[in-house]
Structure 1
């Protein structure tokens, strides 16, 4: 009798164990989803790429400095030589795509006056230029602006955000 109950219990459990989530179905004619990116660029790298004035896909130090000044001046509407944190946030949204990108205004404001001066801005971005100029030739090429990551990298876990 016990053997019969054991077999009956196992048999009843089989359909539940055999059920798996069905594979997602893609409607005919619908393109497959794009694979996960393995080449990424930081927002500041996109900013730097936008400084390429002559379209040769390289950013010289002169192009970088001119582009940085042009972007700063676009946010310094009062022409006072500094940006308050809100103006810096507006600059970040316009030039890097989001108000919360790095470097943050707190990182740039070295003297703690709640403003980012042109000198503070320029000093921090000089460090950023040096970080991206990996071969130290005074020019940033596109290959120096991208990061390669393994395909399995997923900082959001299995489900991720959309």
Structure 2
């Protein structure tokens, strides 16, 4: 599963990748393994960012965590989204979002949508089915890893 996810995430034109499934099937574990691979092989990315969203969504906390990881600390609340967006749109980055329980508006947070120009990647181990359509995701492969 790790090899499939790794290969797919590195493909050109793949900007968003996610999984959904029951709790305890290994989504976060797979995410950690992919994050570790990016730590070993940067693949030309400027930043590899891991953010735990958690059950209660706090936009400012997510902004603070991303800002800290890219070296943009001490930014005023009113300017965070714009500063993050303007900084990240010029960078190649991978954003791992873990523990998503509700809709996350990354534009509101200040994260640019992946394009061929910025070659950004978003990856989430829990993408509710409603996002699959909203983000234009396609089912690439399926796993029955949760079945014993």
Instruction: Select the structure that is richer in strand.
Output: 2
Select the structure with the greater relative contact order (CA < 8 A; seq sep ≥ 6): 2
* Alignment TM-score, normalising by the size of structure 2: 0.25
Instruction: Select the structure that is richer in helix.
Output: 1
